[in-house]
Copies of this chain bind each other. A is one copy, B any other.
């Protein structure tokens, strides 16, 4: 066996952990570029906590609070230009996946001469130091070397990967999620689940990532009753945050699978939330892998179900159905286009048991409520 493992981010977890551990921020420089979305960092208290920590340290900051959902390359370049203009020493990203993606990309762009048009083909070898404060429990981006931006040229979302954009510090405070609505809570939790499950189904799954993946899957499963009831308390919020960070530690080393390859299309073309898109696809993808395992051997699906405390995929799909509700209607023709477009994604070659184009289409068809087709309605 050959494998590599790296996850250098220092994680601190606990209520009020930014302020308690503000000395870590103090090591990063005199001035921060603080990158957030338009509202959430203001509403959930994370922005104020970060400002209090910086000010107590005698550090200054410049706020870039314009990151949209599914951020663009333009957005990351705008933030990077501000980091340069304002002579920022580090980037403090606060938010869900979108501010983290934009902020991490900006940290790399700010110290790397690169044209916008060459962004996705650039290998970034350096970046401003990054500190990350997740305000959702899904992306795991606080512990990954990835930034995922909308790629209009390829009509999908595309990730850049560089060890330079591993955040130096991740501050995990579940209190920022306590007023999060049910749909966001579920969608982000599905993203976290998908990371751990997909990690186990990649060609790079290893003895160093499987234990964390299984722990993340188990943590998600323990939260299912509260997710269904729509009443996660702070203890559940914290567990969802574990699940998310564990999922990030996993995919930092394994990458993702066909689920993400297809999910990015659903997000790009149908504006389906990223975590929900993965959740829609998981059940049928696991059925596909389970069928193949019957023929060629392997028990990954059994291990995943075991980590969830489930007997079979019917139970798994019942949970997904309960959490997802009514599925989106998408035409057969559109799904054929997504299968065609996904088959060459790098996540496909990273998938352990790799679907062909017809199998991708079959998974897609089974995953949505077809307007014209053999599955669903």
A-to-B contact residues, CB < 8 Å: 1-14, 17, 207-208, 210-212, 214-215, 219, 238, 242, 245-246, 249
A178 to chain B, nearest CB (A): 15
10 contacts between A and B (CB under 8 A): A2-B13, A2-B14, A2-B17, A3-B13, A4-B12, A4-B13, A5-B11, A208-B249, A211-B211, A211-B215
Residues in B whose Cβ lies below 8 Å from that of A7 = 7-8
In the complex, A219→B208 CA distance in Å? 12
Contact B11 A6 (CB under 8 A): yes
Chain multiplicity (copies): 2
Residues in B whose Cβ lies below 8 Å from that of A208 = 11, 212, 242, 245-246, 249
- Pick the residue among B1, B9, B212, B219 that contacts A13 (CB under 8 A): B1
Contact A5 B1 (CB under 8 A): no
Residues in B whose Cβ lies below 8 Å from that of A10 = 4-6, 8
A377 to chain B, nearest CB (A): 41
- Pick the residue among B1, B12, B14, B219 that contacts A207 (CB under 8 A): B219
Residues in B whose Cβ lies below 8 Å from that of A219 = 207
Residues in B whose Cβ lies below 8 Å from that of A3 = 11-14
A357 to chain B, nearest CB (A): 33
Residues in B whose Cβ lies below 8 Å from that of A210 = 215
Closest to A5 in B: B11
Residues in B whose Cβ lies below 8 Å from that of A212 = 208, 211-212
Contact B242 A207 (CB under 8 A): yes
Closest to A253 in B: B11
Among A1, A7, A207, A212, residue most surrounded by chain B Cβ atoms (within 10 Å): A207
A366 to chain B, nearest CB (A): 32
In the complex, A256→B12 CA distance in Å? 20
Closest to A214 in B: B211
A370 to chain B, nearest CB (A): 39
Ranked 3 nearest A-B pairs via Cβ:
A8-B8, A2-B14, A211-B211
Contact B4 A11 (CB under 8 A): yes
Residues in B whose Cβ lies below 8 Å from that of A11 = 3-6, 208
In the complex, A232→B184 CA distance in Å? 51
In the complex, A11→B3 CA distance in Å? 8
Residues in B whose Cβ lies below 8 Å from that of A238 = 1
A209 to chain B, nearest CB (A): 10
A166 to chain B, nearest CB (A): 9
In the complex, A376→B2 CA distance in Å? 45
Closest to A12 in B: B4
Among A3, A5, A10, residue most surrounded by chain B Cβ atoms (within 10 Å): A5
Contact B14 A246 (CB under 8 A): no
A179 to chain B, nearest CB (A): 20
A49 to chain B, nearest CB (A): 15
Residues in B whose Cβ lies below 8 Å from that of A245 = 208
In the complex, A8→B214 CA distance in Å? 22
Residues in B whose Cβ lies below 8 Å from that of A4 = 10-13
Residues in B whose Cβ lies below 8 Å from that of A8 = 6-8, 10
